[in-house]
Structure 1
Amino acid sequence: MLIIRLVLIVSALLVVVYPVWGLIYPTSYLPELVEVYPHAEGASVDQVKKAALILWLSNIILSLSLFLLALFIKKPQNYKLAKLSAIALIGYPIMLTIVEVLSSSVLYSHLDKAPVAVEFSAIKGFYIIFGLALIGVYKSQRELNKPIQ
């Protein structure tokens, strides 16, 4: 279980630190953004920094979910950790969608007619399904360990 917890904690740290790259080295982060936002080519350094800061918000939620899951594995009797992790995981795609719209508007602000799209993908759905599964685990474990009356 230690290895699983370490993988979750390291992943949480990497996820939360990743957008900082855009704040420190915005010119090298721009090609990364262009993969997701194709019209961001030609965005200024300030636009890239703002987008990285906005993207950081969704990464914080995903990181929080991973960290809480690692804590739950360490303290399985604390079911609220699993519940909070699940809530964060379910909220992540919602926040990510909001963040994508905001960051695209920042990155495309140098264009006259900037396209803005709201996208829901199977990957976003997976986070919601996994969060719901985690709530199922939380509830079943809580019920299993209730004292019999």
Structure 2
Amino acid sequence: MLAVALLLAGPAARTVAWAVDSPAEMLPDPKQEARAEAIGRQLRCLVCQNESIEDSRAALARDLRHVVRAHVAAGETDRQIVGWMVSRYGDFIRLRPRLDWLTLPLYAMPGLAVLAGLAVALVALRRRRGEPPAPLSDTERARLERLR
């Protein structure tokens, strides 16, 4: 019956149903629940690795959602909760790694790839413009005459 009600309630209700396994697991305060979901969307599911813990259906993600909600209910700040998760699971748990000297290459790679592609294209274009076409060999001339 609950599944039918959620199905009829629309996409917003289905999103909440995916975030927690049952309405009883949601925080009673809607603001706290929204905060918990926002924090969960910043954290990577360690099983799926390409989804946040809020979007994942993995058991570990469910457990991490419970931990986040417990920390929110305890009155911790967003920074404290994310910091606790990072201290426990490492920076990999962040879906968006923070910018520091270790992650700088990660953020710089797209720009460097574009610059490298432009450099290769410019070099190829200059080579093409600077060289006259090679003269035809005797074999190529004979073949050209046969084709005419």
Q: TM-score, normalised by structure 2?
A: 0.30
Normalized per residue, the structure richer in helix is 1
Greater C-alpha Rg: 2
Structure with bigger RCO (C-alpha 8 Å, 6+ apart)? 1
